Amino acid sequence: MRPNDTTVPRVCEECAQPFQERPCIIARGGGRFCSRACSGASRRRTRVTVNCAQCGKAFWVHRHRAADPTRGLFCSRSCGASHSGTKPIADRIRANVDTSQACWRWQAAVNNKGYGRINGSDGNELATHAAWRIAGGSLITKGYQINHTCDEPSCCRADDVGTYEVAGVLYERRGHLWLGTHDANMADMAAKGRSGQLGERSSNAKLTAATVLESRRRHAVDGATDTELAREHGVAPRTMRDVLNRKTWCHLP
């Protein structure tokens, strides 16, 4: 940076070369190094290698963390949990559910939708996901989620193995939990009559079942775009896009 009326002279803490910096940067704690290369070199010199107190694996931490006897001890959260004697997640799930009723409701922390939360080796996760994994359920891949046969968000019952049928399709089940897509869950909700006013019965509906089905057919077969279809039916392109992607009107095939 060239010297001018808005800069002040500084000396790099890494290479000792003079440079110019703006006062606003210095006020925020900057202006210590003349370049990113010098800043990176300084940070690397402040790191030290230590061994994990649990597994013995070598990893690096900053010197100030290594100097603190309560910090920089473990290479991962799982090692920290194991070393501190934290109970296995299966034991914590059993300790936090009420098994006195048909639904094993979660008794600890829940999110704003009523689903239980629990700290695992990879951080905070849904209690239903942890219960499913511990029960030996299949991997929850992209596009799939854990749903409930009982429709109780806090239920974590996963004590037996079976299947759950939705619209003629069988899905893997563990207790009151089953693995399926969002669309399958919406279809299950509609079949149980829990979806409120669906489709044309909704006061906010701008489309009909016939136009939805025809739009989906034309999009799949004729390649009609969401913008074209939205213009024809007098709705916003995003509204039509949600229809085509089955984010709305998902009770229809």
CA 198 from centroid of its chain's CA atoms:
29
* CB 63 within 8 Å of CB 42: no
pTM: 0.49
Residue 99 has pLDDT above 80, yes or no: yes
Least confident of 130-139, 170-179, 193-202: 193-202
Residue 65 has pLDDT above 90, yes or no: no
Cα(15)–Cα(202) distance, integer angstroms: 70
Q: What is the mean pLDDT of residues 92-96?
A: 89
pLDDT of the residue at 156: 95
Residue 80 has pLDDT above 90, yes or no: no
Least confident of 20-29, 185-194, 205-214: 185-194
Comparing 6 with 3, the larger pLDDT belongs to: 6
Non-local (6+) Cβ contacts of 13 within 8 A are 32, 33, 38, 42
